Amino acid sequence: MSAQTPVISSDLIPAALTPVIEALCAVSVDVAAVIARGPLGQSLGSLVGENTDGDSQKALDVLCDEMFAAELKKTDVRFYASEEQEEVVTLNPNGKYALAIDPLDGSSNIDVNVSIGTIFSIFEAKEGDKESFLRPANEQLAGGYVVYGPQTSLVVTFGNGTLMFVLDPADKTFKLVNDKVMVPATSKEFAINASNYRHWTKPVRAYIADCLAGQEGPRDKDFNMRWVGSLVAETHRILTRGGIFLYPGDSRKGYESGRLRMIYECAPIAFLIEQAGGVATDGADPIMGQQADSLHARIPLVFGSAEKVNRVAAYHDLPEQEVSALFGDRGLFRG
């Protein structure tokens, strides 16, 4: 790319954060190219180890982490917290920002040519490295993701609405396609890993049972289910055509607070969704009012169209006999 052509340019990006966003975009152009070559390039999906939480690390996870860290080091990012690294890394000791990142989300989809992505969150740096991240989600300056799919898109918020850019392969720059992304209020789609049904709590089982019961149940309408297995792809679908996503806590060991990480997955997604008029909770309370107590802490995540997410919270308030009842007998939500 020529020095004159910025990888992204929009006056909706705050000037102080522009170099950081440009660095993220420049790396994601390269990441998109590596992904697009798939098996023609290096073996991206091969296992190379485990991260701090015992999740398997693929070659592409590690490669992306190194690529983002190297580029962000040239910017005002002081602290870098990555899913792939146990501790916070200092990049630029004089920098003003703390950036959390899941360099490659959805890595189980690398080898099967399904959308994957990068999720990031930016705070103002504090004196302490960990303290810069262990703080309420509503202190984020920016939250966003890049999805590597049929199109490579950047979706980002700076707290003033949600913006969507698409990478133009012709000149390798991100172009603004929507300056006011809004989660559609109505949709018949829900997304959850239904194979965990037996591990869920009663309110979650009751909510999903009522969706599955369709027209014959208390919801009185038919639903459709989607599960990609990539958080970025599910988020992109919901931002585009509505619906609800749930990764609740469940009774499996290690899944008591769900699977997704607060700092570099749930907080930025919640920020994007709320700025697009949707709602994001842990099943009951807003994610944006909460904070992690450790760098890689997990939290249950429910987000999407406001009415749907609020309904899940209402199931958590139902009396025991109502959530235990078969859908046909659950009276409160009928009609």
Interface residues with ligand F6P (CB under 6 A) are 105-106, 108, 193, 229-231, 259-260, 265
The distance of closest approach from Cβ of residue 229 to ligand F6P in the complex, given in angstroms and rounded to an integer, is 5
Nearest residue (CB) to ligand F6P, 154 versus 191: 191
Torsion of CA 23, 25, 29, 35, to 10 degrees: 100
Mapped onto helix, strand or coil, the DSSP state of residue 289 is helix
Give the shortest CB-298-to-ligand F6P separation in angstroms. Answer: 9
Q: Which residue is nearest to ligand F6P (CB)?
A: 231
Comparing CA positions, the residue from 51, 24, 68 lying closest to residue 107 is: 51
| 45 vs 214, beta carbon nearer ligand F6P | 45
Start-to-end CA distance of the chain, whole Å, equals 58
- Which of 92, 255 has the CB closer to ligand F6P? 255
Q: From residue 183, how far is each of 5, 13, 52, 232 by CA, in Å? A: 32, 21, 34, 15
> At its nearest, how many Å lie between ligand F6P and the CB of residue 5?
32
108-112: list long-range contacts, CB under 8 Å, 24+ apart: 108/229, 109/228, 109/229, 109/230, 110/35, 110/44, 110/45, 110/58, 110/60, 111/44, 111/45
Per the listing, tokens 């910017």 go with 75
Per-residue tokens: 77? 């990012």
Give the dihedral of Cα atoms 45, 34, 103, 149; nearest 10 deg. Answer: -90
Q: Where are the alpha helices (DSSP H) in the chain?
A: 18-37, 59-72, 202-212, 231-241, 267-275, 306-316, 320-324
Nearer to ligand F6P, 77 or 231 (CB): 231
Q: Minimum Å distance from CB 62 to ligand F6P? A: 16
Least distance to ligand F6P from the beta carbon of 57, Å? Answer: 12
Instruction: State in angstroms the smallest separation of the CB of 214 from ligand F6P.
Output: 23
If you count them, how many residues does the chain have?
335
- Shortest separation between residue 230's beta carbon and ligand F6P, angstroms: 5
- CB of residue 244 vs ligand F6P: minimum separation in angstroms? 13
- Asked if 99 and 78 count as a contact pair (C-beta separation under 8 A), the reply is no
Please report the sign of the dihedral spanned by the C-alpha atoms of residue 291, residue 296, residue 300, residue 301: positive
Nearer Cβ to ligand F6P (71/83): 83
CB of 107 to ligand F6P, least distance (A): 7
Structure tokens at 258: 């769900």
Nearer to ligand F6P, 212 or 332 (CB): 212
Q: Are 309 and 280 in contact (CB under 8 A)?
A: yes
Q: Which is nearer to ligand F6P, 23 or 233 (CB)?
A: 233
User: Nearer to ligand F6P by C-beta: 217 or 300?
Assistant: 300
Decide whether 3 or 112 has the Cβ nearer to ligand F6P: 112
